[in-house]
Amino acid sequence: MSQGFEENYAAVMVLFALVFFTGSLLLAPVMMRTKSTIQLKEIITPIIFMIGVIYIITSIFASVLEYIPDLVFYVLSILMFLLFVFMCFYIAFINKHPKNIYVFIVGIGYTLVCSGAVLYEMFYPSVILIGAVNLFEIIAQFYFVLYITHIAEIAKEKKWFI
């Protein structure tokens, strides 16, 4: 593990949970107005995609359980992370606004960031891996801010034709 990880574990996990909870609150206006009118045959691909994402996330995070000093903070962080990523993908797949590609990029970016950070901290401390994680985080944060700046327009109940 990285130096200082165990000493700051509780604070880092609480801050991660807070960040993802805040992100979920910021996405709430769009989530509240997004209503699913899609039939089952139209969402088979997104369902398969989400099953794949959930499998990857749970397999990576389950593989580090034995190294985690306190599971309460870990589980809290994972739940907030999963809520945030679920909201990103749900909005991207169900809401038809053209700018929802931004929130899709955010969901993928933070999935890569969190998975890569866990791999870096626990198994593979590589400069290339942490560089990629930082790049993904910059991209995800950029597109999240870009999406939030347009959230008033996106949250309007309107038919988008894309």
- Tens-place pLDDT, residues 135-146: 999 999 999 999
Res 146: pLDDT: 95
Nearest Cα neighbor of 36 from 92, 77, 79 is 92
- Residue 96 belongs to what domain range? 9-33+42-154
Q: What's the domain count of the chain? A: 1
Res 63: pLDDT: 80
3 located within any domain: no
Positions of the chain with pLDDT under 70: 1-5, 36-42, 157-162
CA-to-CA distance for 113 and 135, rounded, in angstroms? 9
Res 119: pLDDT: 84
Please provide the DSSP assignment of 56-82 as one string. HHHHHHHTTGGG-S-HHHHHHHHHHHH
Q: Which residues contact 16 (CB under 8 A, 6 or more apart)?
A: 77, 80, 81
159 located within any domain: no
Q: Coil, helix or strand for 26? A: helix
77 located within any domain: yes
134 located within any domain: yes
Res 122: pLDDT: 80
Res 108: pLDDT: 93
47 located within any domain: yes
Res 80: pLDDT: 93
In our burial notation (b when 16+ CB lie closer than 10 A, e otherwise), range 70-106 reads: eeebbebbbebbbbbbbbbbbbbbbbebebbebbbbb
CA-to-CA distance for 139 and 114, rounded, in angstroms? 14
> Packing angle between helix 100-122 and helix 44-62, nearest 10 degrees?
20
162 located within any domain: no
